[in-house]
Amino acid sequence: MPDQTGRRVVVTGANSGLGEQMALALGSAGAEVTLACRNVDKAQQVAEKIGDNARVAPLDLADLASVRAFADSFDGADVLINNAGVMAIPLRRTADGYEMQIGTNFLGHFALTGLILDRIDDRVVTMSSLMHKSARLDVDDLNWERRKYNRWTAYGDSKLADLMLALELADRLAGAGSDKTSLAAHPGYAATELQLHTESPVDWVMKLGNMTPIAQSAAEGALPALFAATSPHAANGEYYGPKNFGGMRGAPAVAGYRRAADDAELRQKLWSAAEKLTGVTVEV
């Protein structure tokens, strides 16, 4: 990682898992890191490991009022890493009534990005997942009001939506002649607590999976996002993930993704739906 002294980075969900490892690595490289988290107590413990160049800011992506409050007090950064998320949880709703996974993972980050993009000087990095390939994204029913809820499909939907956010933003930035860039990343199979909150027997399966040789550590899983956020070779519109074992582990490399993410009509429809649901118009 290049020296990050003098650069400011916001990492959402930096109180544990991948986000914690991103914050620690960036802080060690000299960056001023803002840990934007719902659990501020846990985030403060991470910030203390980093030192004086870390600060904690409350941010609950499942509450658009919290997103707006964060944006109102935001004074700028070089990089935004949209990392926070929930995975395969039972059907729940956000403070604004949206299905929790699409609401937290996608709509919250969409709103955050739109509200502070004018104060991000360099890059926006949005975390997707290998699970985006299992999505059955229905833009007309993002909130699972007509479909029978499936927690894994809902998670895949949110991660495909995140990838489409990153790619669409990249195209819009390029079209506007902006020097800013938008990139996406995924961690492969990283052993974190994210997989252990399904509140089902799958938790035990995932716990065992985290102990297999295929699973990377959280620090290794954070590498693609860190590459996207800091490397001078990371390019606008690229998607990075581990290069080995079908994208599950290894050093960062350009990753493949579903063709649906390049569907211009679907991306425009998703973008319009997100603006309507969040009340945030993204100015590029």
Distance (Å, whole) CA 89 – CA 100: 8
The answer to whether residues 68 and 280 touch, using CB atoms and an 8 Å cutoff, is no
Does residue 239 carry a pLDDT above 80? yes
Banded model confidence at residue 191, pLDDT cuts 50, 70, 90 = confident
Q: Give the per-residue pLDDT at 205.
A: 44
Domains of the chain: 8-278 (3.40.50.720)
Residues with Cβ < 8 Å from 206, sequence gap 6 or more? 195, 196, 198
Q: What is the pLDDT of residue 211?
A: 52
Residue 86 has pLDDT above 70, yes or no: yes
Out of 98, 149, 155, 257, which one is annotated catalytic? 155
Residue range 193-219: mean pLDDT, rounded: 58
**Direct distance between the N- and C-terminal alpha carbons of the chain, in angstroms, rounded to an integer:** 28
User: What region does 97 belong to: left with phi over 0, alpha with psi -120 to 50, or beta?
Assistant: left
Mean pLDDT confidence for 232-243: 98
Q: Is 186 helix (H, G, I), strand (E, B) or coil?
A: coil
Cβ-proximal residues to 230 (8 Å cutoff; 6+ apart), any chain: 1, 2, 4, 26, 29, 79
What's the mean pLDDT when you consider all of the chain? 93
**Out of 125-139, 181-195, 263-277, which region has the weakest mean confidence (pLDDT)?**
181-195
Q: Where in 19-109 does DSSP place strands (E)?
A: 32-37, 54-58, 77-82
Residue type, 117: L
Give tens-digit pLDDT for 23-35.
Answer: 999 999 999 999 9
Residues 30, 24: Cα–Cα separation, whole Å: 10
- 181 phi and psi, to 5 degrees? -130, 155
Q: Does 155 qualify as catalytic in the annotation?
A: yes
Backbone angles phi, psi at 41, to 5 degrees: -65, -45
